[in-house]
Every structure is written in C-alpha cells, then in structure tokens.
Structure 1
C-alpha cells in the first residue's frame, strides 16, 4: 500500500508551511495532496505557491495532487477552482460536484466529501473520470468490504487512516465567533490554533474541534491496527492528515508497520504521546466515532465529565 499525506487542514504561517513540505521530500510518502480545502480567506499561500511546492515534491519523486476547496462561497473561489481543474501538470482531488463537472471526464481523485456510500455512486464517479476514490470517514469496515467487491475495474481505493477527522463544513466561521469577530473580519485567528480549537461540553467532555468553518473530531482517528485488514480488502492508499508536530514520526510509524518492521501494538504505543489528542477508531468498527477498539474490546470511550487523554482544555463560546 502507498502512503498519502492529506491536504493541510489548518492555517499555519507561510514559513511553517514551506518548511513542513521541504521536510516532506525526505519522508516515506508516495502521494502528497496540496492546496487550501477549508477557507479561501487563508492567504498565506496562493495557488501559484502550492504549484511551486508541487514542483519541488515532484522533483523528489513524490506524486503531488492539487485538492479543491470543499465549500465554495465566492466568484474568486470559483476562479481558483477552474485554475486547478484546468491545470495539466498535476492530478486533481475533487471535493465537490462542481469540481467533478469541471474535470469533464479527465482523470481525478474523488475526495472524501463526495459522500460515496454505494455502488451506483461509485459507478457514477468512475464514469465521470475518477481513477481513485477516498472512503467517507464514517464508513465502517463492513461498508468498505462491500464497496470493494463492487468497485469498477481500475478504480483505486484510498482510506483516511490518521488524523482529526474533518466531519462538516459551514458558511459560518466558528473560530472567529469564539473570539467575537465577524467572519469577514476574522483577524485570521485560526492561525492561533495549529491543530484546531477544542470544543467541550458543559460537562467538560471533549466533544469536537473547530477549525474555522470546518468541524473536526476532538480525538485523533487512527487505523494503524487495521493496516492488515486494509491490505486484505485491496485498499491501495492510506491517507495521513498533517498535524503541527511529530508528523515525520507518524509517517515513519505507519511505514514501519506496513513494511513489517514494527508491530501495530508497538507503533500505537509510540504514537499516542505524539497525538494532539487521544486516539479513536470507532467508525471503522461500526461504533460511536469516539470509541477506541482493540481486539474487539472498547478500551477507551471518554465518559461525560472526562477530558480526552492528551487534550488541553480550552473554552469555546
């Protein structure tokens, strides 16, 4: 199986982003998704900057893919989308149906936000030109097994295997609202939270993470124990989502398990201290998403009044 580095979900300073992808050149990843998928107000890097990063990574032997924005809100967003879909140098990850239409039958990756849950939808995407699809994050092992039996010939499968899960998008900016700023004058406060801003319930239970207009899981989804199952199911690519620290070690841990140089249990023990929050994998096992299941048993399920392990409590309005 190949390892893909998913698109950067957070708003980091320009220098931080450039340094991050300069380091990626030496990581054991095969595919790197690039571009702003969350909010067009994040202006530290523009499309030409992402293309320059793609050029650098391509020279290092990686396969860059330009990801499209999930929720388009303006004419400028549409212009950027057209530039991405019109490019002839790099592959495209389509994250909404407008991007699928603009690809006009040319090869693309069907992103996880297209909500592909059935064979007819998978057939439609393949007919539109999709050469790879990304499993929706809430899909279970059983659901994936069924679609793997039904997927069109030649269509690759990619699975989100690590990171805080992007669950929903809204026209409102929750991070700006937390600071009592209007969305159009947000002061770019997302940059203050390089791994998102934790949202807790009144009982101080870690509930969600807010990341601008995006809502994420509070916990970190990890399928490191399921890599053997994913291989048996014929999955072609696993996706690891960037975090602000220790991402090189996260990638190395998954590569070591895939190569048989380290056990999943050992890698998991080493990974937990590197996570910005506690681990979960409930969706894969057809359970509540915040559950952590090992050997068929729930070993961690945050109870009301308890904070997720490794999460620093923060207030949210």
Structure 2
C-alpha cells in the first residue's frame, strides 16, 4: 500500500511551500499531488513553480501528479486546466469533467475525489475513458467501497482519503473574504492569515466547519490510520494524507510505521492525536455521521 500526499488545500507563503516540499522529498511518501485546486486568485506559486517542485520530487523518487482546480469559474481557469492536462510530462488528477474530457482517450489519469464515482457503472465508464486510479468519495462507507472493489475494472487502482480536514464543498463565493466584509475580487488574500483554514463555531462554541476561501472543510480531522488493515484486505492501493501546516512529517512517519506494522494502528492513532489541529473523526468510513469518532474493533 502506497502513501500519497494530496494537493495543498491552503494558501501559504511561497517560501513556506517550497520548504514544505523539500521536507516531503525526504519523507516516506510515495505519491505527491501538486497544484492549486481551490482558488485561482492564489498566486504565490504559478504553474511553472509547481512544475519545478514536481521535477525536484521526481528526482527524489516520488511519483508526481498534477491536480486540476475543482471549480472552474473563468476563461483563465479553463486555460490553466488546459495547460496542466497538456503538460506532457506528469500524470494529471482530473477534478472536474472538463479535465476528464481533455484527457479521455489520450493519457492515463487519476479520477479525483470530486467526480462522484459511487457505483460500478460509473467506475467502469471512468476506466474506459483512461482512468488508471480513482479516489473514493470522502463520504463513502467501507461496505460500499467493498462492493465497488469486487467489480473494479482490471488495472484501476483505488485511493482512499485517509487523513486531514475533509474538503466538503466548493462555492463561487469566498467565505474567508466575506467574514472580513471584503468582496471576492478584493479579498486581500485573506487566506494567507489562516494556514489551516478559519474555524467556524456554533453559538454554543462547538467547532462546526472550517472556511478555506471558496472551500468548506470539516472542522475535525478525518483519520483512518486505524483502518489500514481493513483497507489492505479490501485491496486499497493508495491512502491519501492531506497537508497541514504543522507536524506533517510526523504524521507521515506514523502512517508509514503503521503500514509497515512497526506500530499497531491503534498505537499510531494515539501518537497522532496531539499532532492534529483538531479532534479526529472517522464516521463516514463506518456509515455514521462524518464528525463521529468510532472505535476500531481491535481497540474495542
């Protein structure tokens, strides 16, 4: 089972991004997804910079995939997507059907988690277009994944989002700018002030959601490290970890130790708790509300 690092969902300073991926190059991560998937106004890095990072990571032995933006809102967004899909060097993760259309029948691609692949027919169709890997929708439960695995097309890898705040929804409105009474077109790059997103709480002060520009995330951190053995039995090929501003190297190391059985999944989960920006959850995997934390069978 491979460990993948998903695309950076937050807006960080340029130097922080380069330093982060320098550390990733020395980590046990096998696959790295790169690129801006949330908002085209985030200009600290351009496509040429992402390609530079991609080249460095490939030289370090990583499989590199370029991710396309999820919600395209302008002609320039479409143009960027066209340049990514035509890069001619690195595999692409298609996060909308426009990117799929550009790649279908031409190059193998990764079908991203936002393409709504929920049944064997849709999985077969995506594989027929050239998908070599698909990422399970975040809210899919373990039992439904098992059914899809039984009918998975030959040669199609399965990837599961296994760690990080879940990207739940995208909007044309920028919520981070809105909370400062700023219009989206003059957001003053408010996301830079929130390297792990902006927490939204209920009136009872309970963590509810995280605002990340045009993206809405779960407040709690989805963590399936204690389900790695279940995934292995189900034939999952890749587990995806989503970047966070602090302690990412330690989180990666704990997932690596769990997959190598140096630590039990429960030991890895316990050691990970203080490294997470918020409490953990795994409800979707167990067919429960997503914010719940369900104890594994082994842990009782």
TM-score by length of 2: 0.98
What 5-or-longer segments of structure 2 have no aligned partner? Answer: none
**1:292–1:298 Cα contact (<8 Å) kept:** no
Corresponding residue for residue 313 of structure 1: none
What per-residue deviation string (whole Å, max 9, x for no partner) do you get for residues 114-156 of structure 1? 0110111101100110000000000000010000001101100
What per-residue deviation string (whole Å, max 9, x for no partner) do you get for residues 204-234 of structure 1? 1111111000000000000011000000000
Following superposition, the deviation at residue 88 of structure 1 comes to 1.2
Distance 2:71 2:257 in 1: 36
**1:119–1:147 Cα contact (<8 Å) kept:** yes
Q: Within 5 Å, which residues of 2 pair with 1:288-307?
A: 288-295=289-296
Distance 1:263 1:119 in 2: 33
Q: Report the 3-state secondary structure (helix = DSSP H, G, I; strand = E; otherwise coil) of the residue aligned with 2:76.
A: helix
Q: Report the 3-state secondary structure (helix = DSSP H, G, I; strand = E; otherwise coil) of the residue aligned with 1:79.
A: helix
Distance 1:60 1:267 in 2: 26
Q: Within 5 Å, which residues of 2 pair with 1:237-252?
A: 237-252=238-253
Corresponding residue for residue 179 of structure 1: 180
What per-residue deviation string (whole Å, max 9, x for no partner) do you get for residues 145-203 of structure 1? 00000110110000000000000000000000011100000000001000001111112
**1:33–1:65 Cα contact (<8 Å) kept:** yes
Distance 1:249 1:158 in 2: 21
Corresponding residue for residue 45 of structure 2: 45
Following superposition, the deviation at residue 96 of structure 1 comes to 0.2
Q: Report the 3-state secondary structure (helix = DSSP H, G, I; strand = E; otherwise coil) of the residue aligned with 1:45.
A: coil
User: Are 2:114 and 1:89 aligned?
Assistant: no
Distance 1:151 1:114 in 2: 16
Distance 1:57 1:240 in 2: 17
What 5-or-longer segments of structure 1 have no aligned partner? Answer: 300-317
In structure 2, the CA distance between the partners of 1:78 and 1:227, relative to structure 1 (3 Å rule), is: same
**2:108–2:130 Cα contact (<8 Å) kept:** yes
Corresponding residue for residue 63 of structure 1: 63
Corresponding residue for residue 196 of structure 1: 197
Distance 1:9 1:235 in 2: 23
**2:224–2:282 Cα contact (<8 Å) kept:** yes
**1:176–1:212 Cα contact (<8 Å) kept:** yes
RMSD: 1.2
Q: Report the 3-state secondary structure (helix = DSSP H, G, I; strand = E; otherwise coil) of the residue aligned with 2:216.
A: strand
Find runs of 4+ consecutive structure 1 residues off by over 2 angstroms.
295-299
